[in-house]
Amino acid sequence: MECREAVVSYLSWGLVVGGGAYLLRQMQNCARYGRYAPTKARCCPARLGWFLQEVPALLVPLLLLLLSAETGTGRRLLIGTFMLHYFHRSIIYAFLTRGRPIPLIIIVYAVIFCSLNGFLQGHFLLHCARFEDTWLTRARLTAGIVVFALGMIINIHSDYILRGLRKPGEVIYRVPHGGMFEFVSGANFFGEIVEWCGYAVAVWSLPAFAFTFFTICSIGPRACMHHRNYQQRFEDYPRSRKAIIPFIL
């Protein structure tokens, strides 16, 4: 398949503009799922919902990879990095989660987003990106992959802590402790942001930076909303914690 440069450009700038618009919206009203979901919304069980909404970002790049005649080591490494996150999110996390049911409209929006972004990242890496012979030895690639791995570890560990706060079937909230939760209320969100910042550094492209920007605009405000929610629920909530960036915000 030849590179569709116009499509890559439109989708990338769409993420940038959409991320900015989503940020402004979330500063007023947080996305209506989880603890903020409407009580009368039509919902899907959490495990099935997480699988359905995240799996397109795994399957679309995988299909593109299988249909590609030739792929170099660098392309496989970077698209594999992207797919690794969504394999964990759609298969492992979806099976383990004890979260609330997810509104159907949220799932529909997420499926559309993950499908388009999965195509954007996969198509760019497989058919548009150009790598020099010495690219794999560059410090930027190594630094980006290390940062991605660190972020994924923080994200997975934070999710583990959150799951441990509930017994199966419970919907109550408790104060999380341990790991990055000692520094920020949105430790799981912080880990995911670190992941995609590392991915953007490793890929060093408009599509990767656009996706990272959208992610920050999407889950950054949610972390701030969680932080305020914890402070309102628990009078003894640790005052030293920040919302999303340790010691800063």
Which range has the top average pLDDT, 31-35, 49-53, 98-102, 127-131?
49-53
CA distance 63 to 75: 14
Please tell me the predicted confidence (pLDDT) of residue 20: 94
Beta carbons of 177 and 161 less than 8 angstroms apart: yes
Rounded to an integer, the average pLDDT of 68-86 is 86
The answer to whether the beta carbons of residues 153 and 95 sit under 8 Å apart is no
How far, in Å, CA of 170 to CA of 121, rounded?
A: 37
- Strand residues in 97-227 grouped as ranges (E): 102-103
Domain ranges of the chain: 5-233
Q: Which of 20-24, 98-102, 190-194 has the lowest mean pLDDT?
A: 98-102
Sign of CA dihedral 46, 84, 11, 20: positive
